[in-house]
Amino acid sequence: MKRAYNFNAGPAALPEEVLQEAQNSLLNFNNTGMSVMELSHRSKDYEAVHNEAKALLTSLLSIPEDYEILFLQGGASLQFSMIPMNLLQENKVGYYALTGAWSEKALKEASKIGEAAVTVSSKESNYTYIPDLKEIKVPEDAAYLHVTSNNTIFGTQWHAYPEGLTVPLIADMSSDILSTPIDVKQFDVIYAGAQKNLGPSGVTVVIIKKELIKANSSLPTMMSYETHASNNSLFNTPPTFAIYLLSLVLKWVEKQGGLEGIAAINDKKAKALYDVIDNSNGFYKGHAEKDSRSKMNVTFTLQSDEITKDFLQQAKEAGFVGLNGHRSVGGCRASIYNAVPLEHVQALASFMENFQQKNS
């Protein structure tokens, strides 16, 4: 079977090697005579999978001992509520950097819990850029500063983060975690839905400083970080198969040379597409400003709606999937997460060049 050129924004491509490994053990995991999906989450066989995933993540990201790793459900969208419920104290304000639709949603949910405000925004330009770090002001009444590291819809990405803060820095890294080395110590909370770079949909990773995890009897039990931290994320039945696939993806990342190896490949993939856009004499126009471009989501428009429709139709016929742009931007979007092979990106770059030659 020929694999599709999968450029979906999420759920997104998974490494073929990972899918094959999961297929091979689907009916009989570790000689148990059962699938991972059938194992009790209290069994030693599943516990080994669970703890291995945590250990692999700790190793790849160099997570310090004073951080806790949680495997939760509800996607990043549930974290929009859990963060203020656990960290937004009375008489304090949660500050948000608005750089796209997901940061808007995070702000909206926080506003339902307590006081939340915008500290910096690029909304006036339809989110074409990441604001300069010098523009970020964190007032004394701040409980935390929240950023969204990569913006899937608009194709922008933070390439540096605020330093020297006196309040926790929280980052939604759903769409670029594990794509390049980061200093976890720079953040107090990192959270990410798995369905772009970590694995399949169904599990959300939260990396949080232990000192921020506090019991709060007024919170619903499942909404408290303390509940999950004190139970090794096994308070309730976790998404066992998704965590198993997460562990396989982490092993695959190790084989690629860790985050340094993955980053080098991602740089090549992004350059292949942005070079086509930049050398097209305006045939393709990137949405994001160059210094804010995402290496995960390449967004671009063509010269008219008609030619865009032709591009997308011919791309579909050629086997390219998921290139439609979001309605907020229009045009096209190629999501080139870790698992998208370089060869698939190069094939798209060639298609774009050929399409331009035929339609110029």
Number of helices (H) and strands (E), helices first, in the chain?
9, 14
0.75 exceeded by pTM:
yes
The reply to whether 26 falls in a domain is yes
Is residue 322 in a domain? yes
Please tell me which residue in 54, 158, 172, 188 is annotated as part of the active site.
172
Same structural domain for residues 150 and 56?
yes
pLDDT score recorded for residue 284 = 98
Question: Do 325 and 262 sit in the same domain of this protein?
Answer: yes
Q: How far apart are CA 92 and CA 86, in angstroms?
A: 13
Q: Are residues 102 and 249 in the same domain?
A: yes
Mean pLDDT within 191-201 = 97
Residue 1, pLDDT above cutoff 90: no
Residues across the chain: 360
Residues 153 and 301 occupy one common structural domain: no
pLDDT recorded at residue 337: 98
270, pLDDT greater than 90: yes
Residue 228 token pair: 């999950």
pLDDT tens by residue, 324-334 = 999 999 999 99
Is pLDDT of 184 > 80? yes
CATH code, domain with 351? 3.90.1150.10
Residue 202 has pLDDT above 80, yes or no: yes
List 120's β-bridge partners, or say none.
97
- The residue among 255, 271, 297 that closes a domain is 255
- Nearest Cα neighbor of 334 from 343, 321, 347 is 321
| Tokens standing for residue 63 | 């997570």
In a domain, 4, yes or no: no
Model pLDDT, residue 2:
83
Q: Are residues 341 and 241 in the same domain?
A: no
State the CB neighbour count (10 A cutoff) for residue 128.
17
In Å, how far are 18, 146, 294 from 288, measured between CA atoms? 32, 21, 8
Range of the domain at 197: 16-255
> For residue 204, what is the domain's CATH number?
3.40.640.10
- Please name the residues in contact with 170: beta carbons below 8 A apart, sequence gap of 6 or more: 83, 87, 144, 145, 146, 147, 187, 188, 189, 190, 191
On whether the CB atoms of residues 150 and 297 are closer than 8 A, the answer is yes
State mean pLDDT over 63-88. 98
Residue 198 maps to a domain: yes
Residue 144 lies in a domain: yes
What is the per-residue pLDDT for 21?
96
| Average pLDDT rounded to a whole number, residues 175-187 | 98
Q: Over pLDDT 90: what percentage of the chain?
A: 99
**Average pLDDT over every residue of 276-294:** 98
Residues 41 and 90 in one domain: yes
Q: pLDDT band at residue 309, thresholds of 50, 70 and 90? A: very high
Instruction: Give a yes or no: residue 129 inside a domain.
Output: yes
Q: 129: helix, coil or strand? A: coil
In sign, the C-alpha dihedral spanning 295, 297, 301, 307 is positive
**Active site includes 209?**
no
User: Residue 219 gets which letter from DSSP?
Assistant: S
CA 263 distance to own-chain centroid? 15
pLDDT value, residue 239: 97
Q: What's the chain's average pLDDT?
A: 97
Which one is catalytic: 158, 176, 188, 196? 196
66 is an active site residue: no
Question: Which is the catalytic residue, given 54, 102, 269, 295?
Answer: 102
* CB of 60 closer than 8 Å to CB of 254: yes
Whole-number percent of the chain with pLDDT over 70 = 100
Is residue 80 in some structural domain? yes
Residue 116 belongs to some domain of the structure: yes
CA–CA dist 312, 194 (Å, integer): 27
Judge if 201 and 289 occupy the same domain.
no
Last residue of a domain, one of 200, 223, 255: 255
Domain termination residue (choose one: 213, 232, 255): 255
Overall domain count for the chain: 2
Which whole-number Å values give the CA distances from 111 to 81, 106, 107, 147, in the listed order? Answer: 9, 9, 6, 16
Helix (H) / strand (E) containing 358: helix 342-359
Averaged pLDDT, 137-160: 97
Examine the pLDDT at 298 and tell me if it is beyond 90: yes
State residue 42 phi and psi, 5-degree precision.
Answer: -95, 0
Say whether both 215 and 265 belong to one domain.
no
Has 172 been annotated as catalytic?
Answer: yes
- Per-residue pLDDT of 3-61, as tens digits, reads 899 999 999 999 999 999 999 999 999 999 999 999 999 999 999 999 999 999 999 99
Looking at the structure, do residues 236 and 265 belong to the same domain, yes or no? no
Over residues 124-145, mean pLDDT: 96
